[in-house]
Amino acid sequence: MDGENLSEDQQNQLLFMMLVQQHQQIAMMGMGKLENPQTGEVERELKSAKFAIDTLVMLQQYTEGNLPQKLDNYLTETLNNLRMNYADEKEKSDEAESDKGEQE
């Protein structure tokens, strides 16, 4: 898509979607679902995933009622997906911690 041929509103919508995608990728990397492009490794750091998700929640709260339906739906769907993945990963992490504690 050529940004020069988009209206200012279309450019802003595209930038908004890119911002959401950036945070989605950060969250997915933190959950160990994507490899870190800098290291080529899959790393799990749930704190960074939670921070990225919380940032998108804040964005959703601050833009409530001000987004076109398409962007609102995109942000909501992204958050729903991230929350479900995070809950799964958190549960795995909690189970691993519990198993580790029982072995000691």
Q: Is 38 helix (H, G, I), strand (E, B) or coil?
A: coil
- The tens digit of pLDDT for each residue in 56-86 reads 999 999 999 999 999 999 999 999 999 999 9
Pick from 58, 55, 52, 59: nearest CA to 26: 52
* Residue 32 in domain: no
Task: Enter the pTM of the model.
Answer: 0.86
For strands 31-35 and 42-44, give the pairing: antiparallel
Asked whether residue 73 is domain-assigned, the answer is yes
Residue range(s) defining the domain that contains residue 73: 47-94
In a domain, 66, yes or no: yes
Query: Would 88 be classed as within a structural domain?
Result: yes
Tokens 């950036």 belong to residue: 22
Q: Is residue 83 part of a domain?
A: yes
- Residue 1 scores a pLDDT above 80: no
Q: What's the residue count for the chain?
A: 104
In a domain, 19, yes or no: no
Structural domains in the chain (count): 1
Over range 49-62, report the average pLDDT.
Answer: 98
- 35-63 burial code (b ≥16 CB/10 A, e <16): eeeeeeeeeeebeebbebbebbeebbeee
63, part of any domain:
yes
